[in-house]
Chains A and B, each alone.
Chain A
Amino acid sequence: MTKFSLGRYLLPTYVFLTFLFLMIPIGYTFVFSFNDSIKSNIIWRGFTFDNWLNVCDQADVCSAFGNSILIAVTATVIATTLGTMIAIALVRYRFKFRSATNLLLFLPLATPEVVMGAGLAAQFLDFGWSKGLGTVIIAHVMFTLSFVVVTVKARVATLDPALEEAGRDLYASPAQVFRKITFPLLLPGILAAAMLAFALSFDDFIITQFNSGAVDTFPKFVYTAAARGIPPEANVVGSAVFLVAIAIVIAVQVRSTLKQRKLSK
């Protein structure tokens, strides 16, 4: 369409303004990580690098961050393993109870966090398990598992079964076929799923609050601190995590763009 249409300029302007709006709180958090605050981090008092250089002056922020990393890594490893197995079975095999399996995997995605959190906490009470690192990890594996399945499943579906067949024709054992063909081809999907699981676990608050007992995580620290004002060191941790994550996303995108260019040559 060459004729003038309002939509041509209206839509891009709208998109630009909405993205600006989406970025406001991110920018705010970043800017106030440099605030030379004394007690509360509400009023701008001047620029300083101190908060970035001495994050662990706020020992609570650092230990909560450490716990979050530990929980997210452990939960990611377990959820990615279990989820990948399920994803392969769903695409590759016909079996009974398929729709029941789909439903069981879908339900956690469709359950409000507060219900999963309270339910698990009620069960731990009934079992007499005391809440701590272990129960948080159990909870995180539970709610990230379905996300892993969805992500890996998309990758399994693009896999050409002929490749594995070729391996078998050349007398590779099933284990060799998996190790040399299936797994390397699935790896990008598995890594994407792992990154997603890590991000979900790291950022989770509601399920964690119900099942962590005295263990502090970074989101839990922020929630508790909100009552008296969040210290700038929390902004530092949040901003740093943001920068690392964005760097990873950009790296992945650049890599896949380069790969596509290579292929099209």
Chain B
Amino acid sequence: MAFVAFGSQAPAKDQNPTKGGRVALWLLLPGLFYLGLFFITPLISLIITSLKQPSLSGGIGRYDLGVEFGNYAYAISQYAPQIFRSFSFALLATVIALAISYPIAYFIAVRARDRPLLKGILLTLVVAPFFISFLLRTFAWKQIFSNDSFIVNVLKDVGIFGADSYIIGTNFAVVFGLVYNFIPFMTLPIYANLDRLDLRLVEAGSDLYASPATTFRKITFPLSMPGIISGTLLTFIPISGDYVVASRDFLGGPDTAMIGNVVEANFLRIQDYPTASALSVMLMATIVVLVSAYVKRSGTDDLL
């Protein structure tokens, strides 16, 4: 994942890795053990919890070990709209974010290539939103689009909006907020990829009388595919599990809840751990299928 790769442009030196089983083991072991204990076993806990059944002794939030596949059937029947919404919002927002981000990444990587100052300023501006809490940014949009806000009033005055129209709480507002929050995640990997684009290839295209559009379609775009794939994963995955933007206290309304909102409500509010876990397992399974398609394409060494 080229997420942070834009910070280091120096070429890789030939490391000629040595065989050093012992040393490597001691360097790797603590970190990998940590991930095993606090990343892998929690996923197993999640699966075990998703199969638990209500405790015979009763009580809210008390469950016994079991093999209750009904939890999955219940989760699907109860929350099918939210599951569907999560993936369709994530898909829509990812496509829009890609369309918005690609030209920006292209401009910084290609047009500003020989102007380090401009490039530095633009890259700083791309990451700038990361430096202010995304909850505050999302809340700012809520205020900007709130019912009596300047923008909504203008829309009503020019007649685009009816008197009782609103933005906050609609599907539009949620997708808008998701796109906004994830533009930098899409822009950075594409930028990191285009930054390494060999411009002589583009030149060769135009030397052979290809139009700029053809050169882009046949050379630039295909070469930037790895960046697009990274950006797409970095956008789609977090969006599919997000529950802040779609929350009623932010840009969402009664009919915009996504999987994340349901997991949060079931796990943290009504303590229905099995249902929350079943939903999480299904979300994770979907993502794993997506990612393995990616791994098949590019191997594991390119992942990091």
Question: Which residue numbers of A lie inside 8 Å of B, CB to CB?
Answer: 5, 7, 11-12, 14-15, 18-19, 21-26, 28-29, 32, 42, 82-83, 85-86, 88-95, 99, 101-116, 118-123, 125-126, 138-139, 141-142, 145-147, 149-151, 153-161, 189, 192, 196, 199, 203, 205-206, 209-210, 218-219, 222-223, 226-227, 230, 234-235, 238-239, 241-242, 245-246, 249-250, 253, 257
Across the interface, B267 reaches (CB within 8 A) one of A5, A90, A210, A238, namely A210
Contact B135 A145 (CB under 8 A): no
Shortest Cβ distance from B96 into chain A, in angstroms? Answer: 12
Given contacts A94-B17, A223-B135, contact A121 B267 (CB under 8 A): yes
Contact between B27 and A86, CB atoms less than 8 A apart: yes
Starting from the known contacts A22-B125, A253-B124, 9 additional A-B residue pairs (CB-CB under 8 Å) come to A24-B144, A25-B138, A94-B24, A110-B237, A114-B259, A114-B280, A119-B45, A142-B35, A156-B15
Task: Name which residue of chain B comes closest to A218, CB basis.
Answer: B133
Known contacts A93-B20, A209-B264; is-contact A26 B128 (Cβ 8 Å): yes
Number of A-B residue pairs at CB separation under 8 A: 309
A22-B129, A242-B131 given; A114·B19 CB < 8 A:
no
Main secondary structure of the interface of B (DSSP, over half): helix
User: Given A85-B31, A238-B133 in contact, is the A206-B287 Cβ separation under 8 Å?
Assistant: no
Partner of A234, one of B136, B238, B303: B136
Q: What distance in Å separates the Cβ of A97 from its nearest Cβ neighbour in chain B?
A: 9
Which A residues lie within 8 Å of B32 (CB)? 86, 101, 104
Instruction: Please name 13 pairs of A and B residues whose Cβ atoms are closer than 8 Å in the assembled complex, sorted by A.
Output: A42-B143, A85-B28, A92-B24, A94-B19, A114-B243, A114-B263, A123-B45, A125-B273, A153-B304, A219-B135, A226-B249, A242-B131, A253-B120
Q: A29-B136, A122-B46, A206-B243 given as contacts; is B273 within 8 A of A89 (CB)?
A: no
From the candidates A11, A26, A120, A142, name the one contacting B103 in the complex (CB within 8 A).
A11
Chain A residues, Cβ within 8 Å of B28: 85-86, 89, 95, 101
A42-B143, A111-B237, A250-B124 in contact; A145/B31 too (CB < 8 A)? yes
Q: Which residues in window 1-59 of B have CB below 8 A to A?
A: 1, 3-5, 7-8, 10-13, 15-21, 23-25, 27-28, 30-32, 34-36, 38-43, 45-46, 48-49
Interface residues on B, range: 35 or more
Contact indicator A222/B136 (Cβ below 8 Å):
yes
Assembly CA distance A103 to B7 (angstroms):
23
| A114 engages B260 (CB within 8 Å) | yes
Confirm or deny: B250 has a beta carbon within 8 angstroms of a beta carbon on chain A. Answer: yes
- CB-CB under 8 A from A160, the residues of chain B are 13
Does B74 sit within 8 A of A, measured CB to CB?
no
| A238 to B128 alpha-carbon distance, docked (Å) | 12
Q: Once the chains are docked, how many angstroms separate the CA of A222 from the CA of B133? A: 9
